[in-house]
A and B are shown apart, each in its own frame.
Chain A
């Protein structure tokens, strides 16, 4: 025990930062969720669980959860599948693959606000690059009002979200793939495994931990996608792209209902924790030995 006591001072800065930047805001956020504070006034009333009841009944809050789940599912599927397929191609140590991995990583270093603005122009129905490109290759019937059609706007933003973060996922999968011993793959091939068998029986079980990280990270990213939605649609048209983060922002800073926004943040925390927990349960594998 004495041995550990000597180490204690080394933990102090980290613990202090953790308390100041995480525990304190979380506790105060929960505290304000029990009040009717508007974010500006010096005084406020305690309203107990009223905010929790009101937010749970709120039509826009419910819409924002549905939209966020749609957004999350689209981003997780697209980003995981595409990044895995690309990682399988790019994991081999070739010069061209190293260059391509860097290329795919470029969108990750752009600010999400810039990405939002760029893609807003790309998606513009009449002057945009995407519809222009489709028309140029004779696919006029495929042109869409990408951000103006309530049915597809959320998926248009999801595509941008996936594009912006795919580089990080490729790196994670490539790291996972490169950790698989070559001998293991060779012996499976010698035993007559087909490519599909090789993937599902050997690669995937060993890659599952990386996949769990990719899926949970992607989930968190898609719940945090405030900047993209804010710059591209502002939650419109007609609430079709309103997500939890924009709902919280609007409640706090546009409508001056800070207590309600804090309540929504608590719900947000619970929801994202629950979804992450479910994902880990679903992706949990028994320890793989080789």
Chain B
């Protein structure tokens, strides 16, 4: 036996171990109670019921802790323990913890693929008929319904349409465009003035956000992506190829910042906040953050209308997310529902909204900031639910957004659409 034989076996074993270790996922999560302290175990026989609340919104933790404190004061026999996971870990590890009911009496979920998977696993308690549902705008909680049952209540309302700098538009005499030609003309004017027309975070959230208003009137059928997954529509059809062509047009004409595909959300946001860019192609959830970074900003929402004005069916896109639910494995479902009821009160929902800078789906909430009020105005406009979230298969979703990246990288729209359709076909078993 040569001298290398033994190390060979050792290394082969090491290889196998490392490969397996890769598939294991750890989780660092923080556990706090309403006071921000580590919850203590044990207690006396009159120990109150403790419910667990898990979610991914670390940025809301302080506001939610105050709300929980109020809830506990009103409900002396209920304690709420909160666990906050980073959103990527929430996808990978937190939801698995729901299975035995040990955590997540109340939990949050994303619409789309995650909602579908949790519903399929039977982890949602049917909330249909609960009195607190009347506190919500009924049209805004539909994304939490499945098979005629209200399985979750989306708490946040977001408009996934670009933000624009009102002062810059006024300074250069630009009206909010009503059609595609107007949108291009506005972008051209801004470019001529030395302003980046659209800050587009092409490296991460941009394609998934901006695709929604770009496609909304090219394919006014709200079930277009449902049909795509059913094999009844194709990405190679005119509606998607046209959308990709319009993306290409914006890129080729220099209306996105240079190297948009290498720009992440933070960098695109910085361009907008510094007023180097006039439009930020993300969504209303960034309004308050932008204002914090530049108090002089005046912001509004602007959706690209990709068709002639008389053919426009929709004015914008809305998403209802942060879907709150009660775990079907919960040992304390009534207390969990009580907590949801508390969150759905307009005063508490208002405290959450104004504290976090997020609009909510609860009715009659008094917003205190210009940004939240500007968003609230959109509730009277004709918007449709975010098309991307109607895609239930995450690989199909990725194929769609990747086709946008491919076009921005130089691929012809028809080819990018065909490449993406090939992946879709594979996913839907065609």
B426 CB contact (under 8 Å) in A59, A149, A216, A272: A59
Q: Whole-angstrom distance from the CB of B412 to the nearest CB of chain A?
A: 13
CB-contacts of B291-347 with A (<8 A): none
* Contact between chains at B409 and A149 (CB < 8 Å): yes
Among B19, B121, B411, the residue within 8 A (CB) of A40 is B121
A250 with B398: in contact, given A127-B267, A233-B203 (CB under 8 Å)?
yes
Chain A residues within an 8 Å CB radius of B395: 60, 250-251, 255
Across-interface contacts of A280 in B (CB, < 8 A): 4, 8, 11
Q: Mark A117-141, 1 if CB is under 8 A from B, else 0.
A: 0001001111100000000000000
- Residues in A whose Cβ lies below 8 Å from that of B117: 38-40, 256
Query: At the interface, yes or no: A10 with Cβ under 8 Å from chain B?
Result: no
Asked whether, in the complex, the Cβ of A29 is within 8 Å of the Cβ of B263, the reply is no
Instruction: Give A147 to B264 CA distance when docked, in angstroms.
Output: 10
Give the contacts of A165-187 with B (CB-CB under 8 A).
none
User: A223 at interface (Cβ–Cβ under 8 A)?
Assistant: yes
Q: A238 touches which one: B121, B122, B258, B402 (CB < 8 A)?
A: B402
In the complex, the answer to whether B23 meets A236 with C-beta atoms within 8 Å is no
Q: Is the CB of A59 within 8 A of B259?
A: no
Q: Does any Cβ of A come within 8 Å of B125's Cβ?
A: no
How many residues from B make CB contacts under 8 Å with A?
A: 61
- Verify B2–A148 contact, CB threshold 8 A: no
Q: Which residues of B contact A255 (CB under 8 A)?
A: 113, 393-395
Residue contact A269 to B20, C-beta cutoff 8 Å: yes
Closest to A277 in B: B12
Beta-carbon contact of B2 and A276 below 8 Å: no
Q: Is the CB of A148 within 8 A of B267?
A: no
Return chain B residues, CB-CB under 8 Å to A29: 20, 23
Instruction: Give chain B's interface secondary structure class.
Output: helix
Closest to B14 in A: A220
Minimum distance in angstroms from B396 CB to a CB of chain A: 9
Task: Report if B134 contacts A (CB, 8 A).
Answer: no
Establish whether residues A126 and B257, one from each chain, have CB atoms under 8 Å apart when the complex forms: yes
* B423 A124 Cβ-Cβ under 8 A: no
- Within 8 Å of chain A (Cβ to Cβ): is B43? no
Q: Are the CB atoms of B96 and A39 closer together than 8 Å? A: yes
A285 touches B4 (CB 8 A): yes
CA A211 to CA B398, docked complex, whole Å: 40
User: Any chain A CB within 8 A of the CB of B35?
Assistant: no
Given the known inter-chain contacts A25-B23, A38-B121, A237-B409, please indicate yes or no for A276 contacting B262, CB distance below 8 A.
Answer: no
Query: Does B166 count as interface, using CB distance less than 8 angstroms?
Result: no
CB distance from A253 to the nearest CB of B (A): 4
Cα–Cα distance between A16 and B286 once the two chains are bound (Å): 51
Contact between B262 and A40, CB atoms less than 8 A apart? no
Which residues, 1 to 33 on B, are CB-close (under 8 Å) to A? 2-4, 7-8, 11-12, 14-20, 22-25
Given contacts A25-B20, A127-B270, A209-B7, 5 further A-B contacts (CB under 8 A): A39-B117, A40-B123, A41-B122, A148-B409, A230-B88
User: Which 10 A-B residue pairings sit nearest by Cβ, starting from the closest?
Assistant: A148-B262, A148-B261, A125-B259, A40-B121, A237-B405, A145-B259, A253-B92, A238-B406, A255-B394, A125-B262
> What are 26 residue pairs bridging A and B, where the CB atoms are less than 8 Å apart in the complex?
A25-B24, A26-B20, A42-B99, A42-B121, A60-B395, A124-B262, A126-B257, A148-B203, A148-B261, A149-B262, A150-B405, A209-B4, A212-B7, A220-B19, A223-B19, A230-B88, A237-B202, A237-B402, A238-B402, A255-B113, A256-B394, A265-B20, A273-B12, A276-B15, A280-B8, A287-B2
- B residues contacting A by CB (< 8 A) are 2-4, 7-8, 11-12, 14-20, 22-25, 88, 91-92, 95-96, 99, 113-114, 116-118, 120-123, 202-204, 257-264, 267, 270, 393-395, 398, 402-403, 405-406, 408-409, 411, 416, 422-423, 426
